[in-house]
């Protein structure tokens, strides 16, 4: 596609429910990244996929968070048993291999846990 597409754009969920956030990267971009944007916290790295390599999960805040990337394209970020502190904007970005060209970001999913 022309850009990085994320869905849904907004999600309100009850505490304790599971949510899935989707990211469709730019065609041909082999690297895909998830970040979390919170007020006063800037952008927090969550997870990174590069081609067929094992993902870098070093930024996932707890084992309630997981992500997968199927067929080297679409990625899903799953948050289990959501908590109020999970409320944030979740951003996906993609880039050519090794990020030389800089990232292209999606418009994000605003998650609100009530």
Can you give the binding site for other proteins, defined by CB under 8 A? 31, 33, 35, 40-43, 45, 48, 50, 53, 56, 91, 93, 95, 97-100, 102-108
CB 55 within 8 A of CB 46: no
Give least dist CB 37 to other proteins, A.
Answer: 8
Minimum distance between the CB of residue 18 and other proteins, rounded to whole angstroms?
Answer: 26
Smallest distance from the beta carbon of 15 to other proteins, in angstroms?
27
Q: How far is the CB of 83 from other proteins (least distance, A)?
A: 22
Complex with other proteins: residue 33 or 113, whichever CB lies closer: 33
| Closer residue to other proteins, CB minimum distance, 35 or 82 | 35
Query: Closer CB to other proteins, residue 65 or residue 105?
Result: 105
Q: Measured between alpha carbons, how far is 35 from 83 in angstroms, rounded to an integer?
A: 17
What's the 3-state SS for the chain?
CCCCEEECCEEEECCCCCEEEEEECCCCCCEEEEEEEECCCEEEEEEEEECCCCCECCCCCCCCEEEEECCCCCEEEEECCCCHHHCEEEEEEEECHHHCCCCEECCCEEEEEC
Q: Pick between residue 1 and residue 102 the one whose CB is nearest to other proteins.
A: 102
């Amino acid at each position: 596609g022309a850009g990085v597409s994320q869905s849904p754009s907004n999600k309100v969920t009850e505490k304790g429910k599971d949510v899935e956030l989707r990211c469709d990267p730019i065609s041909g971009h082999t690297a895909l990244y998830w970040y979390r944007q919170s007020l006063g916290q800037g952008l927090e790295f969550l997870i990174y996929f590069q081609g067929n390599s094992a993902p870098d999960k070093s930024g996932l805040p707890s084992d309630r968070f997981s992500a997968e990337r199927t067929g080297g394209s679409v990625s899903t970020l799953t948050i289990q048993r959501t908590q109020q502190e999970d409320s944030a904007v979740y951003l996906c970005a993609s880039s050519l291999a090794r990020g030389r060209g800089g990232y292209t970001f999606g418009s994000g999913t605003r998650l609100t846990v009530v």
